[in-house]
Amino acid sequence: MTKSEIQDYQTVFLVGPPNSGKTSLFNSLTGKSFKTVNYPGATVEYYESTFHEKFDIDAIVIDSPGIISLSPSSIDEKIAIEALFNHPIHGLPDLLIVTIDVNQLSRHLYLAKQLIEAGFNIVIAATMTDVLRKNGCNINLNRLSQSLRTDVVEIDPRTGEGVKELVELIKTKTTNLITIPQINVIEKYKNDQYLIETYKQIEEIENNTIFETDDIKNKENVESANNELQILNTSVFIRRKRKIDSLTLKLDKFFLHPYWGLLIFFLIMALTFTSIFWFAVPIMDFVDLVFSLSSDYARTLIDNVWLSSLISDGIISGLGAVFIFVPQIMILFLILGLLEDTGYLARGAMLVDRPLSAIGLNGRSFVPLLSGYACAIPAILSTRTIPNKRERFLTIFIIPLMSCSARLPVYALLIAFLLPKDDLWIGGIILAAIYIFSLFSSVVAAIIANRFNKKIIKEEDNSSFILELPSYRIPQFAVAIKQTFNNVLVYIKQAGPIIVVFSIIIWALTFFPDYDPVIENSDILTEEQIQILKSTERFENSFASEMGKFIQPIMLPLGLDWKAGVSILTAFAAREVFVSSMALIYKVTDDEDEAIRKSLINSMRKAKIEGSNQSVFTMASTIGLIIFFVFALQCFTTVAIVKKETGSWRLPFYQLIVYSVAAYILAFITVNGLRFLGIP
């Protein structure tokens, strides 16, 4: 049977253990035209691309997730492994390129051996030979090729060396002949004795192919050097050949030091964190400006009132709410990608595994939790690297408590309200206190959720932390940028439609019934003041305010009125929408030409609960509102993503109930506790 009878294109799969240079190779083979695809019906993703045009091959390259063997340790791995044997979209692979790091030859050959045994058409790409040579050893690739009975090419994807030779080999090896790999080879390896035997065979191959360069200097050629060394005590010999990169060992003395290790870790994280805010804020201001200008411009273009309002207030503002977070997400993932590429991130996960496992999490939960400080959406997606389901679900459970960037504008407004003058120092301290409080709350939430594991998480699994610590390397920007781009795309695709749709719904609720108010004394007011009075009047008569009046009894115990209640409800589209809703609801005409936030704060000070003389926003109720925002899960995108990632409504349902109730009760206790203490 020939492949062309079934499919008219060739497929080349990249397979290899983590840290074997697979991703770098994918980059140098493909150029920029890659795309991310989900396996049908699964959350697992893979990259696929055509070859870079300079190679002149008409085939598709597929990069699957790194695996150490054909026996899966998680559901994601199972899907990736089964796809090797029969890809749901591309069918049988024409060729597998198996990457192996020659410095870890025996461990990486284990997967290669299994694949060869399964009957795949294989080319082995040997990477990081330069590191091996630097450490005084070398490898005889001809021998390796003979022992494995498959082609072996030496490559350095970072410099592009050997990639051309690999491509030539791919051309000759992707003939039209199909080999059908046997998946039942996995069964054999379930026998521990078979596994150990395989490793013994691999050690023999390792013994015959890797040699110390010092020895050749004294011998005539490699052959005799190897023959003689066979007689030596193999275990001593092997030990000398399997040297760990000396720079890595030196660096680990610092990075994994009993005292300095943790300190360096916290410094790196603090630096990562502050740089997100430093670099992102000016870009975010710019994005904000672009969208508010285009919103204003769109309004002037269309005469039809409701259509122009839909486009500028509903759609463009909604898009603005989506794109405002792109800078932070981008910077966070760029830094994380670079840190991962250096090899440090694995060490960070190891350092915090002990404290995190004490509250039922895993060292691998750390990166997702950190990402949660930018945005919960990519953070929840990145929990896929946690193999244990219970720990993964628990991590997802507490991610909404991480103080995401959408809360920042809300806190900024409320803190500015609390402080009489623009006191940046105290404001910063209050903000830091909120962040620390949210971190503390998430620890408590994890402990409680872990206690009620049977109800909330409903997963039991072997808790495990086995992780390779790769050698330190200089990070590659190209790889980090590719991953960053991918994460941003995922965020826009997942969160974008939901935020825009909710933005339109909320617009409709505040716009209809299309009420055209009559403004008195319009002759003494400016055009702008009339516009503002009109939109406030409109709002007072909208469906949203009808709904708001309905929830007034719920808001009163928190010291708030229905207007604040409506703003909180609209914040379910995205938390920062709270600020623009407040601006819409409370905006009053001011003579002075003030910034929006300032005039909003002024009108917040004047706001009274209807039918009484009591101020809505007091010290107590504002602090209560901050507490509310720390806990409340006001983000429909998060709910949708959690449902998608966990495969059921149970976890997002629990999150929504638990966090909403907690937010309400804790805000209630805060407000009334403060009032009891005499704080208004």
Partner 1 sequence: MKTAADLTFGEKGIINSIDLSHPSSRRILEIGFTPGQEIELITRTAFNDPLAFSLRGSIIAMRKNEAASIKVI
Binding site for partner 1 (CB under 8 A): 68-69, 71, 73, 103-107, 110, 192, 195-196, 199-200, 235, 239, 241-244, 248-249, 252, 256-259, 261-262, 346, 350-351, 353-355, 357, 363, 462, 464-470
Looking at residue 184, its amino acid is N
CB of 263 to partner 1, least distance (A): 9
CB of 348 to partner 1, least distance (A): 11
Nearer CB in complex with partner 1: 388/441: 388
Q: Give the span between the Cα atoms of 599 and 612, in whole angstroms.
A: 23
DSSP E strands: which ranges in 216-278?
none
CB of 259 to partner 1, least distance (A): 7
Nearer CB in complex with partner 1: 237/273: 237
Q: Give the span between the Cα atoms of 5 and 86, in whole angstroms.
A: 16
Are the beta carbons of 375 and 404 closer than 8 angstroms?
yes
Nearer CB in complex with partner 1: 288/468: 468
- Compute how many other C-beta atoms are within 10 angstroms of the C-beta atom of residue 622: 21
Nearer CB in complex with partner 1: 99/486: 99
Nearer CB in complex with partner 1: 261/400: 261
Q: Give the span between the Cα atoms of 676 and 669, in whole angstroms.
A: 10
Which residue is associated with the tokens 């596994």?
Answer: 195
Backbone φ, ψ for residue 162 (5° rounding): 85, -10
CB of 97 to partner 1, least distance (A): 21
Q: Give the span between the Cα atoms of 184 and 85, in whole angstroms.
A: 10
Looking at residue 502, its amino acid is F
Nearer CB in complex with partner 1: 18/475: 18
CB of 234 to partner 1, least distance (A): 10
Residue 127 bridge partners (DSSP): 101
Residue 130's nearest CA partner among 159, 169, 167 is 159
Nearer CB in complex with partner 1: 186/505: 186
Nearer CB in complex with partner 1: 140/248: 248
Are the beta carbons of 33 and 48 closer than 8 angstroms?
no
CB of 392 to partner 1, least distance (A): 17
Nearer CB in complex with partner 1: 232/432: 232
Q: How far is CA 360 from CA 7, 30, 450, 463, in A?
A: 48, 41, 6, 9
The vertex-337 CA angle with 336 and 340, nearest 5°, equals 85
CB of 262 to partner 1, least distance (A): 5
Burial of 53 (0-12, 13-18, 19+ CB in 10 A): exposed
Nearer CB in complex with partner 1: 235/613: 235
CB of 467 to partner 1, least distance (A): 5
CB of 199 to partner 1, least distance (A): 5
The vertex-316 CA angle with 314 and 317, nearest 5°, equals 65
CB of 102 to partner 1, least distance (A): 9
Are the beta carbons of 122 and 96 closer than 8 angstroms?
yes
CB of 544 to partner 1, least distance (A): 52
Burial of 221 (0-12, 13-18, 19+ CB in 10 A): exposed
Which residue is associated with the tokens 């939790």?
Answer: 369
Spell out the residues 6+ positions from residue 567 whose beta carbon is closer than 8 angstroms to its own: 578, 581, 582, 585
CB of 336 to partner 1, least distance (A): 19
DSSP-derived secondary structure letter, 575: T
Nearer CB in complex with partner 1: 244/554: 244
Nearer CB in complex with partner 1: 70/446: 70
Annotate 612-640 with DSSP letters as a single string.
SS-BSS-HHHHHHHHHHHHH----HHHHH
Burial of 253 (0-12, 13-18, 19+ CB in 10 A): exposed
